[in-house]
């Protein structure tokens, strides 16, 4: 009895999925498509700002990919295409900004901040250690009867 619904569900799934395999196409990439993809992965989408133009779905990214494709068809090199976009958008268009001028700050600042934070943390921990009171060197005096009775009262259930 339990197998009947499982078979029915499996049959329905196969009937719904199987026709899609007929319309599936194999996408052949040409050398031009590979070059467009590789160059597009190095350029930042100015709309999305965190994605490259290959992964972005923005219309501007599609237009930029078309420009890359057209320039490759015209025989431009990877460097020529990147220079074209650099001249239009500046260093920001590159997913990895060039390591020159002020851009060095982008590459070095995280490490400097991490190093500085480590030094501050070290100094703070050393300060905590120095401020903790040392354990007493001589034993504490024994409790008097009044303090002992008070403790016994407080510890009773």
Cβ-in-10-Å burial (0-12, 13-18, 19+) of 47 comes to middle
The whole-number pLDDT of residue 4 equals 73
How many CB atoms neighbour CB 45 within 10 A?
23
| pLDDT over 80 (residue 135) | no
Show the tokens assigned to 1.
Answer: 């009895």
Mean pLDDT of 43-62: 90
Cα–Cα dist 100/107, whole Å: 10
Cα–Cα dist 21/113, whole Å: 54
Cβ-in-10-Å burial (0-12, 13-18, 19+) of 136 comes to exposed
| pLDDT over 80 (residue 83) | yes
52, 40 Cβ separation under 8 angstroms: yes
- Specify the higher pLDDT residue, 47 or 49: 47
57, 63 Cβ separation under 8 angstroms: no
pTM for the model stands at 0.53
Q: Residue 94: helix, strand or coil by DSSP? A: strand
Show the tokens assigned to 15.
Answer: 């009937």
> pLDDT band at 1, cuts 50/70/90?
low
The CATH fold assigned to 29-98 is Helicase, Ruva Protein; domain 3 (1.10.8)
79, 35 Cβ separation under 8 angstroms: no
The whole-number pLDDT of residue 3 equals 63
Cα–Cα dist 72/30, whole Å: 13
């Amino acid at each position: 009895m339990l197998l009947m619904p499982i078979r029915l569900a499996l049959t329905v799934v196969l009937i719904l999925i199987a026709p899609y395999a007929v319309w599936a196409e194999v996408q052949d990439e040409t050398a031009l498509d590979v070059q467009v993809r590789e160059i597009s992965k190095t350029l930042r989408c100015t709309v999305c700002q965190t994605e490259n133009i290959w992964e972005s779905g923005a219309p501007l990214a599609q237009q930029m990919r078309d420009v890359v494709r057209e320039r490759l068809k015209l025989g431009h090199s990877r460097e020529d295409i990147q220079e074209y976009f650099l001249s239009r958008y500046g260093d920001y268009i590159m997913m990895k900004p060039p390591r020159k001028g002020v851009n060095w700050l982008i590459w070095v600042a995280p490490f400097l901040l991490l190093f500085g934070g480590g030094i501050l943390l070290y100094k703070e921990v050393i300060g905590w250690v120095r401020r903790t009171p040392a354990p007493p060197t001589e034993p504490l005096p024994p409790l008097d009867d009044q303090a002992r009775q008070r403790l016994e009262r407080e510890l009773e259930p």
